[in-house]
Amino acid sequence: MKPYYITTAIAYTSGTPHIGNVYEIILADAIARYKRLMGYEVFYQTGTDEHGQKIEEKAKASGKTPQQFVDEVAGEIKRIFDLVNTSYDKFIRTTDENHKKQVQKIFKKLYQQGDIYKSFYQGKYCVPCESFYTESQLASGKCPDCGATVKDEKEEAYFLKLSNYQDRLIKHIEENPDFIQPESRKNEMVNNFIKDGIQDLCVSRTSFKWGIEVEFDRGHVTYVWIDALSNYITGLGFDVDGDHGELYQKYWPADVHLIGKDILRFHTIYWPIMLMALNIELPKQVFGHPWLLVGKGKMSKSKGNSLYTDDLVEQFGVDPIRYFVLRETPFASDGNIEPEVIIERYNAELVNTLSNLVNRTISMINKYHNGQVYLPNELNKIDKNLIATVLNTKKIVIQKMDQLRVSDAIQEIMKTLRRVNKYIDETEPWILGKDQVNKARLSTVLYNLLESIRQMAVLLQPFIPETCENIFKQIKADQKTFSSLDQFNGIAETVLAKAVPIFNRLDAEKTLKEFEKRIGQEVDMLEEVAEITFADFSKIDLKVGEVLASEPHPKADRLLVSKIDLGTEIRQIVSAIREDVKIADFVGSKVIVVANLKAVKIRGVLSEGMILVATDEKKLEVVTVNIEKGAKVS
């Protein structure tokens, strides 16, 4: 079998990933499962990125060692990946001993051959991104990647000579048009980051200790890029000395690095140049997938709009969530997830189009033939039209999936399932079943329905595997491979039991209320940010409050419950800031409070306002002031 190697970006162990992060893991899993069905020998790798200044600071704030901290978070991340039924073959951690050993060897080799040199760095540093920038690279004086405030830093550091490989990188991109996908992402990288010159990259730090030590200079730790990016080869058993493991020899170069569009620069500039310097073949493709948004905006702690996998799965189930995030996120543009839309898609496609078709077909076989499935007889024009449509779907799905157009592939399957439903209306089996003279014709119609269902279930396996197994069990289908879709004859004569609905229709209002109760806040994700007038703004009552006390929420590890003195009264406010503040420092600070916000219960605890915070998606800080409590902010 032909090997196929797919990777995701490794998750940063600073906290629990939301569904927007987990989408990437589900997407990679769907591609991996598809390739296995196509006959490839797949190796799917994911994992966690566990070093850096931010983790060192969070571990200290939580009273744990960095290793204890990342052990807990990495375990939680792995649990979530398992929850959504991902079939990864390797879960790598950058604290794995073999990974650390090889990173030290990589660093030393690059230094010895002159691709890494020692100097001083003086410039602008972004803590959330753990990146240095020059003044010209900043966006309005802030980090160009996440928008955070940067600070001046000067420290001794090692640098990777990216500039030495610029021309070679440009040539590779030009000669390999599919290397960076989608096309729009490639143009962005070339025009914004490569064409005007690539600056050398800082690859070590001395201002913190939680990292892989530079073997020959113990005062330095390896900076995130050489550490994290190397996982794609160390996880396969790469060895700098040439004693590579079997997996590396079999699977490298990677067929695709699947990553979020926000980290494309690191994977299409830093990583290829590292590989060039090591004289290693480059991956075949880097695919920068779009984001999964909420209400057209990125998920954010400060907005309170982050949706978490546990909550979604508990409410809707694993396969419906897998289906939704894959179906709703296009090839090159951002997707959108809101509970209302999940319910709509669930009812329209999983219930009406798929589940009802399976249920009706099995029920008719039981009603008219006592569960007996008969082989088809003579086919008429309507039958042949249906069969042609069903058999052609495989070709279209393969074409879409080979281009990583997962959402398009799912839509094609649903389109065919709607055609199968239409076939029921065209053939009217309930009329045929009234007269024994039509028994042969009815047998053919019911067989065509059952085989169509089997074929679509085979195609749906990468996306909703547990659901497809349920279908196969109910229709007693043993043929589950893609090769079985070349002929319309995968169902043998058998006897079926009574149908058990795969999905039941959701009551929208009831389900929303249940979900609202589950996550402890009102569900209103559809509203987008809009312009407001001065009169609108004047309705917001902003006051300075002093934090008197703060403690963890009893039912949610991301929330703090705080007592805030507004000068004339004391309010209780629940905020999703527990991972980002030290309670000891937070108590006594002066914060800005939205004082006229309607009181709500969040996870069962009353919240009477909102504390203002600033966020860059990777870091969150409470806005503090040095002014008397009770003062009005305007």
d(CA 123, CA 221): 19
Q: Residue ranges of the alpha helices (H) in 292-438? A: 309-316, 318-328, 339-345, 356-369, 381-402, 406-427, 429-432
pLDDT at 527: 39
Give the residue from 594, 598, 610, 612 showing the smallest Cα distance to 540: 594
Omega before residue 462 within 30° of 0, cis: no
Minimum mean pLDDT among 81-95, 101-115, 609-623: which range?
609-623
Which residue spans within 463-510 are E strands per DSSP? 494-495
Q: Are 44 and 6 in contact (CB under 8 A)?
A: yes
pLDDT at 606: 82
- What average pLDDT does this structure show over 109-132? 86
pLDDT band at 100 (very low <50, low <70, confident <90, very high): very high
pLDDT at 521: 59
Helix axes 309-316, 19-37, angle to 10 degrees: 60
Q: Answer yes or no: is pLDDT of 301 > 60.
A: no
pLDDT at 303: 47
pLDDT band at 109 (very low <50, low <70, confident <90, very high): very high
List pLDDT tens digits, range 75-98.
Answer: 999 999 999 999 999 999 999 999
The SS3 call for residue 577 is coil
List pLDDT tens digits, range 190-199.
Answer: 888 888 888 8
- Range among 11-20, 279-288, 604-613 rated most confident: 279-288
List pLDDT tens digits, range 237-274.
Answer: 999 999 999 999 999 999 999 999 889 999 999 999 99
Per the model's pLDDT, the better-predicted residue between 454 and 566 turns out to be: 454
pLDDT band at 557 (very low <50, low <70, confident <90, very high): low
Which residue spans within 161-304 are E strands per DSSP? 180-181, 201-202, 204-205, 221-222, 256-260, 286-289, 292-293
pLDDT at 337: 86
3-state secondary structure labels for all residues of 386-422: HHHHHHHHHHHHHHHHHCCCHHHHHHHHHHHHHHHHH
Q: Are 586 and 622 in contact (CB under 8 A)?
A: yes
Q: Are 93 and 78 in contact (CB under 8 A)?
A: no
pTM of the complete model: 0.81
- What average pLDDT does this structure show over 526-531? 44
Chain mean pLDDT for the chain: 90
